[in-house]
Protein backbone atom coordinates (compact mmCIF):
# COMPACT_ATOMS: atom_id res chain seq x y z
CA UNK A 1 0.00 0.00 0.00
CA UNK A 2 1.92 3.02 -1.20
CA UNK A 3 1.43 6.58 -0.14
CA UNK A 4 1.73 9.76 -2.13
CA UNK A 5 3.60 11.21 0.79
CA UNK A 6 4.89 10.05 4.15
CA UNK A 7 5.86 12.50 6.88
CA UNK A 8 8.27 10.54 9.06
CA UNK A 9 9.72 10.79 12.55
CA UNK A 10 7.66 13.75 13.73
CA UNK A 11 5.67 14.31 16.90
CA UNK A 12 1.98 14.53 16.05
CA UNK A 13 -0.40 16.58 18.16
CA UNK A 14 -4.18 16.73 18.07
CA UNK A 15 -6.63 18.37 20.46
CA UNK A 16 -6.45 15.28 22.64
CA UNK A 17 -3.07 13.53 22.21
CA UNK A 18 0.60 14.04 21.49
CA UNK A 19 2.34 10.99 20.01
CA UNK A 20 5.18 9.85 17.78
CA UNK A 21 3.90 8.68 14.41
CA UNK A 22 4.50 8.76 10.70
CA UNK A 23 1.68 10.24 8.64
CA UNK A 24 0.76 8.57 5.37
CA UNK A 25 -1.07 10.69 2.82
CA UNK A 26 -3.00 9.45 -0.17
CA UNK A 27 -5.31 11.40 -2.46
CA UNK A 28 -4.96 14.55 -0.35
CA UNK A 29 -6.15 12.84 2.80
CA UNK A 30 -4.51 11.23 5.78
CA UNK A 31 -4.55 7.51 5.00
CA UNK A 32 -2.52 6.08 7.89
CA UNK A 33 -0.88 7.01 11.18
CA UNK A 34 1.69 4.69 12.71
CA UNK A 35 5.29 3.72 12.99
CA UNK A 36 7.28 2.33 10.09
CA UNK A 37 4.77 3.13 7.34
CA UNK A 38 5.55 1.84 3.82
CA UNK A 39 7.36 4.12 1.43
CA UNK A 40 5.76 7.17 -0.04
CA UNK A 41 6.39 8.63 -3.49
CA UNK A 42 7.56 11.63 -1.54
CA UNK A 43 8.97 11.66 1.95
CA UNK A 44 9.44 14.44 4.47
CA UNK A 45 11.71 13.91 7.45
CA UNK A 46 10.04 15.64 10.37
CA UNK A 47 12.56 14.59 13.03
CA UNK A 48 12.63 17.28 15.69
CA UNK A 49 9.46 18.86 14.32
CA UNK A 50 5.88 18.96 15.54
CA UNK A 51 3.25 17.72 13.12
CA UNK A 52 0.15 19.82 13.84
CA UNK A 53 -3.18 20.10 12.07
CA UNK A 54 -3.09 23.22 9.91
CA UNK A 55 -4.69 26.10 11.73
CA UNK A 56 -8.33 26.96 11.10
CA UNK A 57 -8.79 30.70 11.38
CA UNK A 58 -12.49 31.17 12.04
CA UNK A 59 -12.47 34.95 11.73
CA UNK A 60 -10.77 36.86 8.93
CA UNK A 61 -11.78 39.69 6.61
CA UNK A 62 -10.50 39.61 3.04
CA UNK A 63 -11.48 42.04 0.30
CA UNK A 64 -14.53 43.16 2.24
CA UNK A 65 -16.02 46.44 0.98
CA UNK A 66 -16.19 48.89 3.86
CA UNK A 67 -18.90 51.25 2.64
CA UNK A 68 -16.55 54.23 2.63
CA UNK A 69 -13.23 55.25 1.06
CA UNK A 70 -11.20 52.78 3.06
CA UNK A 71 -10.04 49.60 1.31
CA UNK A 72 -8.91 46.31 2.78
CA UNK A 73 -5.32 45.59 1.79
CA UNK A 74 -5.64 41.82 1.54
CA UNK A 75 -7.63 39.93 -1.02
CA UNK A 76 -8.13 36.16 -1.20
CA UNK A 77 -4.64 35.68 -2.61
CA UNK A 78 -2.54 37.78 -0.26
CA UNK A 79 -4.73 36.93 2.72
CA UNK A 80 -4.49 33.18 2.18
CA UNK A 81 -0.77 33.47 1.39
CA UNK A 82 -0.19 35.14 4.73
CA UNK A 83 -2.36 32.55 6.46
CA UNK A 84 -0.44 29.66 4.88
CA UNK A 85 2.97 31.00 5.91
CA UNK A 86 1.61 31.29 9.45
CA UNK A 87 0.64 27.61 9.56
CA UNK A 88 -3.06 28.13 8.81
CA UNK A 89 -4.69 25.96 6.15
CA UNK A 90 -8.36 26.92 6.38
CA UNK A 91 -9.86 30.39 6.66
CA UNK A 92 -13.40 31.60 7.17
CA UNK A 93 -13.78 35.11 5.80
CA UNK A 94 -17.10 36.95 5.79
CA UNK A 95 -19.61 37.59 3.04
CA UNK A 96 -21.32 40.74 4.25
CA UNK A 97 -24.85 41.67 3.20
CA UNK A 98 -25.22 45.31 2.20
CA UNK A 99 -28.30 46.92 3.68
CA UNK A 100 -30.96 47.11 0.96
CA UNK A 101 -29.46 44.17 -0.93
CA UNK A 102 -30.04 40.46 -0.63
CA UNK A 103 -27.87 37.94 1.17
CA UNK A 104 -27.61 35.98 -2.06
CA UNK A 105 -26.06 39.01 -3.75
CA UNK A 106 -23.41 39.08 -1.03
CA UNK A 107 -22.61 35.40 -1.47
CA UNK A 108 -22.33 35.77 -5.25
CA UNK A 109 -20.17 38.88 -4.88
CA UNK A 110 -17.70 37.23 -2.50
CA UNK A 111 -17.40 34.12 -4.65
CA UNK A 112 -16.46 36.44 -7.50
CA UNK A 113 -13.91 38.18 -5.27
CA UNK A 114 -12.38 34.85 -4.32
CA UNK A 115 -12.38 33.33 -7.81
CA UNK A 116 -8.92 32.16 -8.91
CA UNK A 117 -7.17 33.48 -5.82
CA UNK A 118 -7.16 31.35 -2.67
CA UNK A 119 -4.10 29.24 -1.89
CA UNK A 120 -5.86 27.33 0.89
CA UNK A 121 -9.39 26.07 1.49
CA UNK A 122 -12.02 28.51 2.68
CA UNK A 123 -15.62 28.74 3.75
CA UNK A 124 -17.78 31.81 4.24
CA UNK A 125 -19.56 33.15 7.25
CA UNK A 126 -22.45 35.39 6.27
CA UNK A 127 -23.04 38.77 7.91
CA UNK A 128 -26.75 39.53 8.21
CA UNK A 129 -27.33 43.30 8.29
CA UNK A 130 -30.82 43.57 6.83
CA UNK A 131 -33.12 40.81 8.07
CA UNK A 132 -36.09 41.47 5.82
CA UNK A 133 -38.97 39.04 5.58
CA UNK A 134 -37.42 37.58 2.47
CA UNK A 135 -34.04 37.15 4.13
CA UNK A 136 -35.53 35.51 7.20
CA UNK A 137 -38.17 33.48 5.46
CA UNK A 138 -36.30 32.30 2.39
CA UNK A 139 -32.72 33.36 1.76
CA UNK A 140 -31.13 32.61 5.09
CA UNK A 141 -32.67 29.13 5.49
CA UNK A 142 -31.79 28.29 1.86
CA UNK A 143 -28.18 29.47 2.26
CA UNK A 144 -27.75 27.56 5.52
CA UNK A 145 -28.88 24.42 3.71
CA UNK A 146 -26.36 25.13 0.96
CA UNK A 147 -23.47 25.10 3.43
CA UNK A 148 -23.30 28.66 4.77
CA UNK A 149 -24.00 27.43 8.26
CA UNK A 150 -22.64 30.28 10.36
CA UNK A 151 -23.30 33.99 10.32
CA UNK A 152 -22.33 37.08 12.23
CA UNK A 153 -24.60 39.80 13.53
CA UNK A 154 -23.63 43.15 14.99
CA UNK A 155 -24.97 45.05 17.97
CA UNK A 156 -23.03 48.16 16.96
CA UNK A 157 -22.07 50.17 13.80
CA UNK A 158 -24.94 52.02 12.09
CA UNK A 159 -24.38 50.25 8.78
CA UNK A 160 -24.42 46.79 10.32
CA UNK A 161 -26.27 46.68 13.62
CA UNK A 162 -29.52 44.91 14.40
CA UNK A 163 -31.91 45.91 17.16
CA UNK A 164 -32.94 43.42 19.83
CA UNK A 165 -36.15 42.51 18.03
CA UNK A 166 -34.23 41.78 14.84
CA UNK A 167 -31.67 39.78 16.77
CA UNK A 168 -34.43 37.63 18.22
CA UNK A 169 -35.85 36.99 14.77
CA UNK A 170 -32.47 36.02 13.36
CA UNK A 171 -31.67 33.80 16.34
CA UNK A 172 -34.97 32.03 15.84
CA UNK A 173 -33.97 31.11 12.27
CA UNK A 174 -30.56 29.93 13.47
CA UNK A 175 -32.31 27.70 15.98
CA UNK A 176 -34.70 26.14 13.52
CA UNK A 177 -32.02 25.66 10.84
CA UNK A 178 -29.13 24.66 13.12
CA UNK A 179 -26.73 27.48 12.22
CA UNK A 180 -24.07 29.03 14.45
CA UNK A 181 -24.52 32.73 15.23
CA UNK A 182 -21.48 34.89 15.91
CA UNK A 183 -22.21 38.04 17.90
CA UNK A 184 -20.34 41.33 17.88
CA UNK A 185 -21.30 42.49 21.36
CA UNK A 186 -20.79 46.19 22.08
CA UNK A 187 -23.48 48.68 23.09
CA UNK A 188 -23.90 51.06 20.14
CA UNK A 189 -25.55 53.93 22.04
CA UNK A 190 -22.91 53.96 24.76
CA UNK A 191 -20.21 54.20 22.08
CA UNK A 192 -22.02 56.90 20.09
CA UNK A 193 -22.66 59.00 23.20
CA UNK A 194 -19.07 58.74 24.41
CA UNK A 195 -17.70 59.43 20.94
CA UNK A 196 -19.68 62.67 20.67
CA UNK A 197 -18.61 63.75 24.13
CA UNK A 198 -14.96 63.06 23.32
CA UNK A 199 -15.22 64.91 20.01
CA UNK A 200 -16.77 67.95 21.70
CA UNK A 201 -13.81 67.95 24.09
CA UNK A 202 -11.35 67.71 21.18
CA UNK A 203 -10.21 64.27 22.29
CA UNK A 204 -10.06 62.64 18.89
CA UNK A 205 -6.55 61.11 18.74
CA UNK A 206 -6.34 57.33 18.17
CA UNK A 207 -5.94 56.75 21.92
CA UNK A 208 -9.53 57.90 22.50
CA UNK A 209 -10.89 55.13 20.29
CA UNK A 210 -10.29 52.88 23.29
CA UNK A 211 -11.89 55.36 25.67
CA UNK A 212 -15.00 55.47 23.49
CA UNK A 213 -15.48 51.69 23.73
CA UNK A 214 -15.13 50.85 27.41
CA UNK A 215 -15.41 47.40 28.90
CA UNK A 216 -18.80 48.18 30.36
CA UNK A 217 -20.22 48.71 26.85
CA UNK A 218 -18.91 45.27 25.92
CA UNK A 219 -20.20 43.76 29.16
CA UNK A 220 -23.71 45.11 28.72
CA UNK A 221 -24.00 43.89 25.15
CA UNK A 222 -22.52 40.53 26.06
CA UNK A 223 -25.08 40.09 28.80
CA UNK A 224 -27.89 41.17 26.46
CA UNK A 225 -26.73 38.80 23.73
CA UNK A 226 -26.68 35.95 26.23
CA UNK A 227 -30.17 36.85 27.45
CA UNK A 228 -31.60 37.00 23.94
CA UNK A 229 -30.02 33.64 23.11
CA UNK A 230 -31.41 32.14 26.30
CA UNK A 231 -34.87 33.42 25.46
CA UNK A 232 -34.76 31.79 22.03
CA UNK A 233 -32.89 28.70 23.35
CA UNK A 234 -30.12 28.84 20.80
CA UNK A 235 -26.34 28.63 21.22
CA UNK A 236 -24.29 31.68 20.19
CA UNK A 237 -20.59 32.42 19.88
CA UNK A 238 -19.44 35.81 21.14
CA UNK A 239 -16.56 37.00 18.98
CA UNK A 240 -13.44 39.04 19.77
CA UNK A 241 -13.92 39.19 23.53
CA UNK A 242 -11.50 41.75 24.94
CA UNK A 243 -11.95 42.13 28.65
CA UNK A 244 -12.61 40.74 32.10
CA UNK A 245 -16.17 42.01 32.35
CA UNK A 246 -17.34 40.21 29.21
CA UNK A 247 -15.50 37.07 30.32
CA UNK A 248 -17.36 37.25 33.61
CA UNK A 249 -20.70 37.31 31.76
CA UNK A 250 -19.64 34.39 29.58
CA UNK A 251 -18.55 32.31 32.56
CA UNK A 252 -21.79 33.16 34.34
CA UNK A 253 -23.82 31.93 31.36
CA UNK A 254 -21.70 28.80 30.91
CA UNK A 255 -22.05 28.09 34.62
CA UNK A 256 -25.80 28.17 34.21
CA UNK A 257 -25.56 25.52 31.55
CA UNK A 258 -26.22 27.81 28.57
CA UNK A 259 -24.48 27.03 25.30
CA UNK A 260 -22.55 30.26 25.11
CA UNK A 261 -19.25 30.02 23.26
CA UNK A 262 -16.57 32.65 22.98
CA UNK A 263 -13.66 33.71 20.81
CA UNK A 264 -10.70 35.86 21.61
CA UNK A 265 -7.82 37.12 19.48
CA UNK A 266 -4.09 37.94 19.74
CA UNK A 267 -4.72 41.67 20.14
CA UNK A 268 -6.28 41.04 23.55
CA UNK A 269 -3.22 39.11 24.73
CA UNK A 270 -0.43 41.15 23.17
CA UNK A 271 -1.66 44.76 22.90
CA UNK A 272 -2.94 47.25 25.45
CA UNK A 273 -4.70 50.64 25.38
CA UNK A 274 -1.26 52.25 25.55
CA UNK A 275 -0.51 50.93 22.05
CA UNK A 276 -3.23 53.28 20.79
CA UNK A 277 -1.33 56.19 22.32
CA UNK A 278 2.18 56.60 21.03
CA UNK A 279 3.64 59.32 18.85
CA UNK A 280 1.31 61.23 16.56
CA UNK A 281 -0.92 58.92 14.57
CA UNK A 282 1.01 55.68 15.26
CA UNK A 283 -1.72 54.46 17.58
CA UNK A 284 -4.07 54.13 14.60
CA UNK A 285 -2.18 50.95 13.74
CA UNK A 286 -3.82 49.30 16.74
CA UNK A 287 -7.35 50.64 16.32
CA UNK A 288 -9.69 47.68 16.40
CA UNK A 289 -13.00 46.91 18.06
CA UNK A 290 -13.35 46.06 20.84
CA UNK A 291 -10.07 47.81 21.68
CA UNK A 292 -7.13 46.27 23.53
CA UNK A 293 -7.37 46.76 27.31
CA UNK A 294 -4.58 46.46 29.92
CA UNK A 295 -2.28 43.91 31.55
CA UNK A 296 -4.86 42.82 34.12
CA UNK A 297 -7.39 42.11 31.38
CA UNK A 298 -4.78 40.28 29.31
CA UNK A 299 -4.33 37.98 32.28
CA UNK A 300 -8.06 37.29 32.45
CA UNK A 301 -8.06 36.48 28.72
CA UNK A 302 -5.16 34.04 29.20
CA UNK A 303 -7.02 32.39 32.07
CA UNK A 304 -10.14 32.16 29.92
CA UNK A 305 -8.16 30.47 27.14
CA UNK A 306 -6.58 27.87 29.37
CA UNK A 307 -9.56 27.50 31.69
CA UNK A 308 -12.29 26.81 29.17
CA UNK A 309 -14.23 30.08 28.92
CA UNK A 310 -13.01 30.44 25.32
CA UNK A 311 -13.45 27.77 22.68
CA UNK A 312 -11.71 29.48 19.77
CA UNK A 313 -8.73 31.71 19.14
CA UNK A 314 -8.97 33.61 15.84
CA UNK A 315 -7.06 36.47 14.27
CA UNK A 316 -9.88 38.85 13.29
CA UNK A 317 -7.48 39.81 10.50
CA UNK A 318 -8.91 43.12 9.23
CA UNK A 319 -6.15 44.50 7.01
CA UNK A 320 -5.68 48.22 6.38
CA UNK A 321 -2.39 49.84 5.41
CA UNK A 322 -0.98 52.55 7.64
CA UNK A 323 0.23 54.59 4.68
CA UNK A 324 -1.22 54.43 1.23
CA UNK A 325 -4.63 54.49 -0.36
CA UNK A 326 -7.63 53.41 1.64
CA UNK A 327 -5.58 52.83 4.77
CA UNK A 328 -5.56 54.15 8.31
CA UNK A 329 -4.79 57.65 7.00
CA UNK A 330 -7.59 57.67 4.43
CA UNK A 331 -8.93 60.82 6.09
CA UNK A 332 -5.49 62.24 6.84
CA UNK A 333 -3.03 61.66 9.63
CA UNK A 334 -4.95 63.88 12.02
CA UNK A 335 -8.33 62.29 11.41
CA UNK A 336 -10.53 61.75 14.43
CA UNK A 337 -10.54 58.13 15.61
CA UNK A 338 -14.14 57.77 14.42
CA UNK A 339 -12.90 58.05 10.81
CA UNK A 340 -10.00 55.61 11.08
CA UNK A 341 -10.57 52.19 9.47
CA UNK A 342 -11.18 49.66 12.19
CA UNK A 343 -9.10 46.53 12.37
CA UNK A 344 -5.61 45.10 12.49
CA UNK A 345 -3.75 42.43 10.54
CA UNK A 346 -2.84 39.14 12.22
CA UNK A 347 -3.65 36.06 10.16
CA UNK A 348 0.03 35.09 9.89
CA UNK A 349 1.11 35.91 13.45
CA UNK A 350 -1.90 34.35 15.24
CA UNK A 351 -0.37 30.91 15.69
CA UNK A 352 3.30 31.79 16.33
CA UNK A 353 2.31 34.31 19.02
CA UNK A 354 0.07 31.86 20.87
CA UNK A 355 2.49 28.99 20.41
CA UNK A 356 5.43 30.96 21.78
CA UNK A 357 3.73 32.73 24.68
CA UNK A 358 1.32 29.91 25.42
CA UNK A 359 2.92 26.55 24.71
CA UNK A 360 6.63 27.41 24.92
CA UNK A 361 6.21 29.49 28.07
CA UNK A 362 4.27 26.70 29.75
CA UNK A 363 0.95 28.51 30.04
CA UNK A 364 -0.87 26.11 27.75
CA UNK A 365 -0.60 22.49 26.73
CA UNK A 366 0.06 21.70 23.11
CA UNK A 367 -3.27 19.85 22.90
CA UNK A 368 -5.06 23.01 24.11
CA UNK A 369 -3.27 25.04 21.46
CA UNK A 370 -4.50 22.66 18.74
CA UNK A 371 -8.01 22.67 20.22
CA UNK A 372 -8.30 26.47 20.28
CA UNK A 373 -6.69 27.16 16.92
CA UNK A 374 -7.77 24.23 14.73
CA UNK A 375 -10.09 21.57 16.15
CA UNK A 376 -12.64 23.80 17.83
CA UNK A 377 -13.04 26.32 15.03
CA UNK A 378 -13.61 23.38 12.68
CA UNK A 379 -16.27 22.02 15.03
CA UNK A 380 -17.95 25.35 15.64
CA UNK A 381 -18.33 26.00 11.93
CA UNK A 382 -19.23 22.56 10.63
CA UNK A 383 -15.87 21.58 9.12
CA UNK A 384 -15.00 18.82 11.57
CA UNK A 385 -13.60 16.17 11.09
CA UNK A 386 -12.46 17.06 7.59
CA UNK A 387 -10.45 19.99 8.97
CA UNK A 388 -8.74 20.76 12.25
CA UNK A 389 -7.37 17.35 13.17
CA UNK A 390 -4.81 14.73 12.25
CA UNK A 391 -6.84 11.57 11.83
CA UNK A 392 -7.33 8.93 9.17
CA UNK A 393 -9.79 10.33 6.64
CA UNK A 394 -9.16 13.99 7.44
CA UNK A 395 -7.71 16.29 4.80
CA UNK A 396 -3.92 16.26 4.94
CA UNK A 397 -3.81 19.90 6.06
CA UNK A 398 -0.69 19.90 8.18
CA UNK A 399 1.83 22.38 9.53
CA UNK A 400 5.29 21.24 10.53
CA UNK A 401 6.54 23.37 13.38
CA UNK A 402 10.12 23.80 14.49
CA UNK A 403 9.79 24.39 18.22
CA UNK A 404 13.41 25.48 18.50
CA UNK A 405 13.35 28.21 15.89
CA UNK A 406 13.46 31.72 17.28
CA UNK A 407 12.08 34.47 15.07
CA UNK A 408 11.74 38.19 15.58
CA UNK A 409 8.46 39.30 14.06
CA UNK A 410 8.90 42.19 11.68
CA UNK A 411 6.62 43.25 8.88
CA UNK A 412 9.37 42.40 6.41
CA UNK A 413 9.06 38.67 7.05
CA UNK A 414 5.27 38.56 6.72
CA UNK A 415 3.31 37.81 3.56
CA UNK A 416 0.23 39.97 3.89
CA UNK A 417 -0.25 43.12 1.87
CA UNK A 418 -0.29 45.44 4.88
CA UNK A 419 2.64 47.79 5.50
CA UNK A 420 2.91 47.13 9.23
CA UNK A 421 2.34 44.58 11.94
CA UNK A 422 1.19 45.56 15.43
CA UNK A 423 3.58 42.88 16.72
CA UNK A 424 6.77 44.39 15.27
CA UNK A 425 9.84 43.38 17.28
CA UNK A 426 8.25 40.61 19.32
CA UNK A 427 10.54 37.59 19.53
CA UNK A 428 8.83 34.22 19.33
CA UNK A 429 10.10 30.68 19.75
CA UNK A 430 8.53 28.07 17.49
CA UNK A 431 7.68 28.63 13.85
CA UNK A 432 5.79 26.76 11.12
CA UNK A 433 8.44 25.74 8.60
CA UNK A 434 6.36 23.64 6.18
CA UNK A 435 2.64 23.96 5.41
CA UNK A 436 0.66 21.31 3.54
CA UNK A 437 -2.83 21.67 2.17
CA UNK A 438 -4.56 18.44 1.10
CA UNK A 439 -1.19 16.75 0.99
CA UNK A 440 0.48 19.38 -1.20
CA UNK A 441 3.44 21.29 0.21
CA UNK A 442 2.37 24.90 -0.26
CA UNK A 443 5.03 26.67 1.84
CA UNK A 444 8.47 25.45 2.74
CA UNK A 445 11.14 27.48 4.55
CA UNK A 446 9.76 30.80 3.43
CA UNK A 447 9.10 29.75 -0.15
CA UNK A 448 5.62 29.70 -1.68
CA UNK A 449 5.02 26.59 -3.77
CA UNK A 450 1.30 26.80 -4.49
CA UNK A 451 -0.64 28.30 -7.37
CA UNK A 452 -3.39 30.87 -6.82
CA UNK A 453 -6.84 29.36 -7.03
CA UNK A 454 -5.86 25.92 -5.72
CA UNK A 455 -7.81 26.57 -2.50
CA UNK A 456 -11.29 25.06 -2.58
CA UNK A 457 -14.54 26.47 -1.32
CA UNK A 458 -15.90 24.38 1.56
CA UNK A 459 -19.63 24.06 2.07
CA UNK A 460 -20.06 23.61 5.84
CA UNK A 461 -22.15 21.07 7.68
CA UNK A 462 -24.49 21.99 10.50
CA UNK A 463 -22.25 22.46 13.53
CA UNK A 464 -23.06 20.12 16.42
CA UNK A 465 -22.33 22.86 18.99
CA UNK A 466 -25.11 24.98 17.44
CA UNK A 467 -27.80 22.53 18.53
CA UNK A 468 -30.24 24.06 20.98
CA UNK A 469 -30.48 22.62 24.47
CA UNK A 470 -34.14 21.88 24.03
CA UNK A 471 -33.69 20.11 20.71
CA UNK A 472 -35.69 16.92 20.46
CA UNK A 473 -33.03 15.50 18.13
CA UNK A 474 -30.53 13.08 19.69
CA UNK A 475 -27.02 14.51 19.99
CA UNK A 476 -24.99 11.87 18.16
CA UNK A 477 -21.67 12.37 16.38
CA UNK A 478 -23.11 11.63 12.93
N1 LIG B 1 -15.42 43.63 14.08
C2 LIG B 1 -14.75 42.68 13.49
O3 LIG B 1 -15.13 41.53 13.58
N4 LIG B 1 -13.65 42.96 12.80
C5 LIG B 1 -13.13 44.25 12.63
C6 LIG B 1 -13.86 45.31 13.31
C7 LIG B 1 -15.06 44.88 14.05
O8 LIG B 1 -15.72 45.68 14.67
ZN1 LIG C 1 -14.61 60.42 3.78
ZN1 LIG D 1 -16.89 42.43 15.12
ZN1 LIG E 1 -13.79 40.74 12.46
pLDDT 10s digits, 175-201: 999 999 999 999 999 999 999 999 999
* Per-residue pLDDT at 427 exceeds 90: yes
- Greatest Cα pair distance, the chain, in angstroms, is 73
CA distance 473 to 476: 9
- CA distances from residue 405 to 362, 425, 428, 432 in whole angstroms, order as listed: 17, 16, 8, 9
- CA distances from residue 154 to 97, 129, 166, 319 in whole angstroms, order as listed: 12, 8, 11, 19
* Per-residue pLDDT at 1 exceeds 80: no
Buried/exposed 116-152: b ≥16 CB within 10 Å, e otherwise: ebbbbbbbbbbbbbbbeeebbeebbbebbeeebbbbb
Three-state secondary structure call for residue 164? helix
pLDDT 10s digits, 432-459: 999 999 999 999 999 999 999 999 999 9
Task: Between 477 and 126, name the one with better pLDDT.
Answer: 126
Give pLDDT, residue 167.
98
Mean of per-residue pLDDT scores for the chain: 97
Give pLDDT, residue 475.
58
Q: Confirm or reject: Cβ of 343 under 6 Å from ligand 1.
A: yes
Contact at 8 Å (CB) between 94 and 64?
yes
Is pTM beyond 0.95? Reply is yes
Pocket probe for ligand 1: among 342, 345, 350, 422, the residue whose CB has the most ligand atoms within 8 Å is: 342
Give pLDDT, residue 278.
76
Nearest CA, atom 7, ligand 1: 289
Nearest CA, atom 1, ligand 1: 289
The candidate with the shortest Cα–Cα distance to 384, out of 8, 10, 14, is 14
Interface ipTM above 0.90: yes
Question: Taking residues 155-184, what's their average pLDDT?
Answer: 97
Contact at 8 Å (CB) between 377 and 348?
no
Question: Taking residues 379-385, what's their average pLDDT?
Answer: 98
Give pLDDT, residue 291.
98
pLDDT 10s digits, 232-265: 999 999 999 999 999 999 999 999 999 999 999 9
Burial class (CB in 10 A: 0-12, 13-18, 19+), 423: buried
Q: Confirm or reject: Cβ of 318 under 6 Å from ligand 1.
A: yes
Please count the CA atoms within 13 angstroms of the CA of 477 that sit on its side-chain side. Answer: 3
The candidate with the shortest Cα–Cα distance to 361, out of 291, 417, 302, is 302
Neighbours of 323 (CB within 10 A): 10
Question: Taking residues 392-397, what's their average pLDDT?
Answer: 98
Give pLDDT, residue 279.
78
Strand segments, DSSP code E, in 55-113 are 55-60, 88-96
pLDDT band at 476 (very low <50, low <70, confident <90, very high): low
The conformation of residue 356, written as its DSSP 8-state character, comes to I
Nearest CA, atom 8, ligand 1: 289
Question: Taking residues 265-287, what's their average pLDDT?
Answer: 96
* Per-residue pLDDT at 478 exceeds 60: no
pLDDT band at 477 (very low <50, low <70, confident <90, very high): low
State in Å: Cα 441 to ligand 3 middle: 33
CA distance 182 to 334: 34
Amino acid sequence: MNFDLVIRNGTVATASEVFKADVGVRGGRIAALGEGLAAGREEIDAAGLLVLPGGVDGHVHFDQPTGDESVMADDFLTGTRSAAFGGTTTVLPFACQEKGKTLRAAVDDYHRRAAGKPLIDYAFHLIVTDPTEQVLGQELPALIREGYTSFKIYMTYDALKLNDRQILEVLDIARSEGAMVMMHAENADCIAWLTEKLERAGQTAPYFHGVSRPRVAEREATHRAISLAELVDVPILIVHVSGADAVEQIRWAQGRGLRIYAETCPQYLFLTADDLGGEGFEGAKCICSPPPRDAANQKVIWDGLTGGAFQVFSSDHAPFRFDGPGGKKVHGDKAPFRCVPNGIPGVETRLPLLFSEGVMKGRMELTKFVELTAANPARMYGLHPRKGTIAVGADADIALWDPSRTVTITNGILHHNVDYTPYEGIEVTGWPVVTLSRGEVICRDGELLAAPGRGEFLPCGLPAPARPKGSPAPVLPF
